[in-house]
Amino acid sequence: MSLLNQPCNRRTFIKTSGLAAGATMLSSPFAFGKSVKGANEKLVCGVIGVNGMGWADLEAFLKQPNTECAALCDVDSRVLRRRLAQLDRIHGMKAKGYEDFREMLENKDLDVIIIGTPDHWHCLQFVYAAQAGKHIYCEKPLGNSIGEINIMEAATKRYNPVVQVGQWQRSDPHWRDAIDFVNTGALGKIRTVRTWSYQGWMNSVPVAPDAEAPEGVNYDLWLGPAPKRPFNPNRFHFTFRWFWDYAGGMMTDWGVHIIDYGLFGMNAYVPKSVMALGGRFAYPDDATETPDTLQALYEFDGFTMLWDHGIGINGGYYGRTHGVGFVGNNGTLVVDRGGWEVIPEVRDNVAQMERVELQPTKNMGLDLHMEDFIACIKDRDLTPRCPVSIAANVARVAHLGNISYKTGRRLYWDAENTSFIGDADANAYLTPSYRAPWELPKV
C-alpha cells in the first residue's frame, strides 16, 4: 500500500513501510549497526529537494567512488525535469523522478537520502527516512524549531542511521587548523568570541502580490506542515528563508555555520542566557519577516559570544564579510571561508605574540564532508564530523537567539529540560503546530 494514500503521521508510515525498511536493512551491506570496512559495494542515494543545496550535495556525493543516484524528488516539476536531465547529461545516470518524498522512501534500492528542502520540512523527512532504514545527509539547520530538533535526536538514537548534517566547515582543513591553534592557548585568556555575517549581495525583497502557484508546482505539498497561505513568489525557493513559517532568517542560515565554530573553539556549547536586539532596519517596507539587522549576545562561564548580522552591506569585522574572531589577551584569531590569521594584541608598543599571516583555504570542505559521511557508513566505528549531536546543539543556540529577538528580552536557558526558565511566552516558541493532516512525529 502506498504511503500517498495514508494520513501524514508516524504510526501509518511505520505500518505501511516497515516491511520495506526491514528488507532493506536485512539485504543491504550498509544496514544500520553493521560495520563493512573496506566495502566496495555501490552506495545509492535519492535526493529530496534539488533546486539549491540538495543538488550541490548530490554533486559532492557523486564525486566519491562507488556512488550512484537513482532518485530525485521535488515538488516543482520544472526543477525536477531540469535536474533529471542534468544528472543524465553530466553523470550518465537515469534516475526516477518523484513529486512526493514518501513514495521515494518506499524505494528499497536507496541506501542514502539527501535532504535539501526548506527548513520546515527537515524534521518529517528526516524521521521518515530513518524509519525507512536509510542513512541521511541533511542540510542545515537541523530543524526549524527546538521541539523538532529534540525529535530528530530521538529518532537518531532509536533507528541508528548514519547522519551527517551539512555544516561542511566541520570538515574543512583550514577551519580545523584554526581551532587547533586556539587550543594551544597562545591567544591567552579568550574573553569574547565574535561571530558574524554581513552579506552585501543579499538585497531587499520587494513586496509582490499573491498569485497562483506556477504550473507544475505542487504548492500544497511545498507548504506541507506550514500554515496554509496563498502562494507568493517571495515565499518560494531561495527567499523562503526570510519568513518565520519556513526558516529562521540569517541566524539559522549563515549563523549555524559560523556559531558552530565559535562554540567548537571554546569547547563550550550551552549558553546560560541570551539577549537579542535588531529589526528590519535597512529595508523596513520590504516583504520579509526576519530581521535584516541583529545582534545576539550569549552568556557563557568566563566569556561572551556575539552573533551579529547585516543584510545588504559588507561591513563585517576585521574587513571580512563573515567569520569568527577569538579575542584573547595576547591576540585575536580570525577565521572565515578564505582562511585564518592571528592579529597580535599590542600594549605599550609591544606585540604580545607573533603575528600569523593568512593561512588560506583549499576550498575542499563540502567534498571532504561527503567523503567523511560515506566513510562512516562503510565503517560504523567511525563518527561523522557533524553528527546530530553537534548539529542539534548549534541549531538550538541559533533558535535561542531568534526567540530572544521575538520576545524582546533576555532569556535564561535550562539545557537539561530544554526549556526557558520562568518564561512561558518564550517556551511557547519551542514546539510548532503542524497543519493538518501533517503531524509532528512521535518517536
Instruction: Please write down the HEC assignment for all residues of 393-406.
Output: HHHHHHHHHHHHHH
Distance CA 55, CA 38 (A): 27
Contact present, 323 and 241 (Cβ < 8 Å) = no
pLDDT at 39: 56
What averages of pLDDT result for each successive group of 10 residues across the chain (443 residues)?
47 42 44 52 97 97 98 98 98 98 97 98 98 98 98 98 98 97 98 98 96 97 98 96 98 98 97 98 98 98 98 96 98 98 97 97 94 98 98 98 98 97 98 97 93
pLDDT at 17: 42
pLDDT at 14: 42
pLDDT at 25: 40
Q: Which residue has the cell 541570551?
A: 274
The number of distinct structural domains making up the chain is 1
Quick check: is 379 in a domain?
yes
Task: Please state the three-class secondary structure of 42-92 as a single string.
Answer: CEEEEEECCCCHHHHHHHHHHCCCCEEEEEEECCEHHHHHHHHHHHHHHHC
pLDDT at 40: 67
Quick check: is 126 in a domain?
yes
* pTM as predicted: 0.92
Quick check: is 365 in a domain?
no
Quick check: is 281 in a domain?
no
Quick check: is 11 in a domain?
yes
Quick check: is 53 in a domain?
yes
Quick check: is 122 in a domain?
yes
pLDDT at 250: 98
Quick check: is 48 in a domain?
yes
Q: What is the CATH number of the domain that holds 386?
A: 3.40.50.720
Q: Which domain holds residue 63?
A: 3-170+370-392
DSSP-derived 3-state class of residue 114 = strand
